[in-house]
Amino acid sequence: MPNVAIVGATGAVGQEFLKILVERNFPVEELRLLATKRSAGKKVLWQGREIEVQETTHDSFKGIDIALFAGGSSSTEFAPSAVKSGAVVIDNSSAYRLDPKVPLVVPEVNPEDVKWHKGIIANPNCSTIIMAVALKPIFDLAGIKRVVVSTYQAVSGAGREGIEELEGQVHDWAQGEELKSQTFPYQIAFNLIPRIDVFQEGDYTKEEWKMVKETQKIFHVDTMPITATTVRVPVLRSHSESINIETERNVGLEEVKAAFQKAPGVIVEDNPAEDRYPMPWFTSDTDEVYVGRIRKDFSIENGINLWVVGDQIRKGAATNTIQIAELLL
C-alpha cells in the first residue's frame, strides 16, 4: 500500500482529500499531513487515528509514494523536492498545467496520459474539468468544431475566504450594516462579477485562458477554437456552465443524449416537461458532472446547447486528483 502525503491538508481541498480517500477506499499505509507553519501542530482525526499536521519542508517527502498537492504556491516550492524523494506528485495548482512535459489529466477523458509522467501530473482547473467531462461524449460522437462557454462560478472556488465573504455580506445586509469586500473586487452578495483571476492578453482573464488552453491540451487538439467568459456568482458551491458546441458532423439530439447516458462520470438531468435540469444546490457534495437543457442551436448548422453543473471542490479538484492516484495504482 502506498504512503501518501497531503500538502495543504488543512484547506478546503485538503479536507476534501481526506473525505474522498475514505469514500473511495483508497489504500493508504502511512498518511502524512503537511501544511504551512501556521497550521503545524493541529491534530486531525482520520480513520480512527489522530494525525498531527506537520510544516511542509523540502525533507517532508522521504518514503512517500504519492504526494497530493492541494494547490497554491507550495507546488512550485515543494513539488520538485517531492519528486526528488521518489514521490509522484499530483498537483492542483496552475504551476505545471501547461508545461508540455507534464500530463494534464481528467480520467474520463485522457487517462492514458498518466503513463508518460516524469514525476508530476497536473490536475486541471475546476471549470476546465467540468467542461471536459461534458465535451468528451460529443467529441467522440461528432467531433468538435468550436466551443463557446460562459461560467457561473461559486464563491468556494476562491477558497474558504470566498464562502465567508458571501455569508458575511448576506448577514450584514440582513442586519442593515455596511457590506465589506476583501476576497472579491466588489460585493458578491446579490451581484455577479464578470472577472475571475487577473486580466491578461486580449482582456481575457487568466481563468478564461485556462479553460481555452487546458481543454486544448487535454483533448490533444491545440487548434480547437474555444472562447470563454467566466463569472463569479453568489452561490456557495458547484460551478455551472452554459456551453454552446458546434460539431464537425450533424448529429441528432437522441444520439447526443444516448452518448451522455453512457458516458462515465456524467448524470443526465434533462426533462423540461417536469422542470428537471441541473442546479448547484442539488449537485453540491457529489462527484458527477450533471448535464441538462440539451437542445439544438438553431442559429448554426451543427449546434448544440448544454447546461452543465458540477461540484468544483470535489470533481473540479479533490475527486479528480484521487481518481488520478487510482490510475497510478
Q: Is-catalytic flag, 239?
A: yes
Per the structure block, which three cell numbers stand in for 259?
452518448
Is there a single domain that holds both residue 61 and residue 169?
Answer: no
Instruction: State the catalytic residue, choosing from 58, 117, 126, 171.
Output: 126
Q: What CATH number is associated with residue 193?
A: 3.30.360.10
In a shared domain, residues 190 and 297? yes
Could you list the residues known to form a binding site for substrate, using ranges.
153, 232
Sorting pLDDT into bands at 50, 70 and 90, what band is 1?
very high
pLDDT confidence band for 12 (50 / 70 / 90)? confident
Same domain, 55 and 197: no
Does 33 have pLDDT greater than 90? yes
At 159 the pLDDT is 87
How many domains does the chain divide into? 2
| Mean local confidence (pLDDT), 297-315 | 97
Residues contributing to the annotated binding site: 10-13, 38-39, 97, 153, 156-157, 232, 312
101 and 48, same structural domain? yes
Verify that 130 and 109 share a domain, yes or no. Answer: no
CATH of the domain at 31: 3.40.50.720
Are 292 and 205 within one domain? yes
Average pLDDT rounded to a whole number, residues 286-291: 98
- From residue 4, alpha-carbon distances to 23, 164, 191, 320 in Å are 16, 30, 41, 16
Put residue 295 in one of left, alpha, beta given phi > 0 → left and psi -120 to 50 → alpha.
beta
Instruction: Give the tens place of pLDDT for each residue, 212-245.
Output: 999 999 999 999 999 999 999 999 999 999 999 9
pLDDT at 249 over 90: yes
Stretch among 7-11, 59-63, 81-85, 170-174 having the lowest mean pLDDT: 7-11
Average pLDDT over residues 171-184: 97
* Same domain membership, residue 240 and residue 279: yes
Please indicate, yes or no, whether residues 87 and 219 belong to a single structural domain of this protein. Answer: no
- Are 145 and 106 in the same domain? no
* Domain enclosing residue 221, as ranges: 126-308
The CA distance from 3 to 28, in Å, is 6
Q: Is 126 a catalytic residue?
A: yes
Distance CA(193)–CA(184), nearest Å, equals 8
pLDDT of residue 160: 86
The model scores a pTM over 0.85: yes
pLDDT in tens, 108-150: 999 999 999 999 999 999 999 999 999 999 999 999 999 999 9
Mean pLDDT of the chain: 97
- Tell me if 147 sits within 8 A of 247, measured CB to CB: no
164 with 105, same domain: the answer is: no
Is the domain of 165 the same as that of 256?
Answer: yes
Indicate if 53 and 135 belong to the same structural domain: no
